[in-house]
Amino acid sequence: MSAALLLVATPSVPGPRISPNTLSLNAAVAPPITLNDGNTMPDMALGVFRVPPGNATFDSVLSGLKVGFRSIDTAQLYQNEASVGAAVRASGIPRDEIFVTTKMSRGYIGLPTNYSTTLATLQTSLSLLKMDYVDLYLLHSPRDTEKNIKEQWEALIYAKKQGLAKNIGVSDFLAPQLQWLADASEKPVVNQIELSPFLYKYRKTVLDYCKEKDIAIEPWGALVTDKVLNDTTLVNIAKSVSKTVPDVLLKWSLQKGYLPLVTSTNTTHQKEDLAVATEDWMLSAQDMATLDAIGNSSYFGESPADIAGVGNISAFFPTANCPARC
């Protein structure tokens, strides 16, 4: 990794409060994994869901890059793409060493979306990020008609051909929606879904489908919630390997071959999370089996109806709260 982490750009958003010149030149970075299109991406990403735009996102991303994250996950919905772009530029890390993901979120809030709207949305994201391309562009949600989802996917294939998105994928798709894309000329490289040991057994169908089609799984909700920090099974496993409960949850994900996402605005937590990807320790086969069996559907977060099928996420993101550009 070259990482000539020098100070350059002034961010176009307020900040920074973390000086780019404090960036480390030798932070360990998450190992790359190869996607089904032959490209690679780091096996752990820092996300910025619910991180306010402006200083909070700028500082979080810059701090994440400083500790060694090289994969950043944002979305149209998060309204902080401009701050992500500013932090990437301010880091001074060459653009091609940072893997940037964003998502077309209109389906999340129930806005029907066709081919041209999808491409227009990507262009808006690129303008906000001030980037020529994103490394990964996702359909944020399957909450639209089969016809529209197929059009959206064709638009992503076109965007990839045009070099606007190096890789394309989906989020929160279950097996039936993935099947809608089965006849397309390209398949998704990733499916970003809510997944942790607690949800593992409820996700069998979609996980089996993705495994068969070589679609990588990017778990969100990998750390579950604060509620599980005192879970007896997790605490006992964590003690036995002299690690923390978040460490165990992330290692479970990585050992499964998944690419977990974490959110943290706290540099210490960011370091701890990334260390799980860079440090060479393993959970035993017995611990992995224990975690696989720990199922508890009460830990479904924002996609509770996904247990049965496609959920009604609009309850969580009412249209009234969406910015006009959604």
Residue 322 engages ligand NAP in binding (rule: CB under 6 A): no
Angle separating helix axes 55-67 and 267-278, nearest 10 degrees = 40
**Closest chain position to ligand NAP (CB):** 47
Tokens (6 digits) for 318: 């009412």
Q: Which of 35, 48, 100, 119 lies at the binding interface for ligand NAP (CB under 6 A)?
A: 48
Q: Which of 15, 16, 42, 221: binder of ligand NAP (CB under 6 A)?
A: 221
Q: Does 15 bind ligand NAP (CB under 6 A)?
A: no
User: Taking Cα atoms as reference points, which of 90, 124, 123, 73 lies closest to residue 13?
Assistant: 90
The full DSSP string for 77-115 is GGT-HHHHHHHHHHH---GGGSEEEEEE-GGGGT----H
- Annotated active-site residue 78? The verdict is yes
Within residues 77-96, the interface with ligand NAP by CB under 6 A covers none
User: Would you give the DSSP letter of residue 9?
Assistant: P
Q: Which of residues 260-279 bind ligand NAP (CB under 6 A)?
A: 261-266, 269, 272-273
DSSP letter, residue 167? E
Quick check: 150 binds ligand NAP (CB under 6 A)?
no
Using the minimum distance from each CB to ligand NAP, give the nearer residue, 162 or 281.
281
* Contact window for ligand NAP (CB under 6 A) among 21-29, 123-131, 256-264, 284-292: 256-264
Q: Which is nearer to ligand NAP, 7 or 302 (CB)?
A: 302
Residue 246 found at the interface with ligand NAP (CB under 6 A): yes
DSSP three-state, residue 4: coil
* Phi, psi values for residue 152, rounded to 5°: -60, -45
- With beta carbons less than 8 A apart as the criterion, state whether 119 and 159 touch: yes
Q: Give the nearest distance from C-beta 105 to ligand NAP in angstroms.
A: 9
Q: For residues 181 and 169, what is the distance between their CA atoms, to the nearest angstrom?
A: 11
Instruction: Kindly list the residues in this chain that would bind ligand NAP in the complex (CB under 6 A).
Output: 47-49, 73, 140, 171-172, 192, 220-223, 246, 261-266, 269, 272-273
- Annotated active-site positions, please? 78
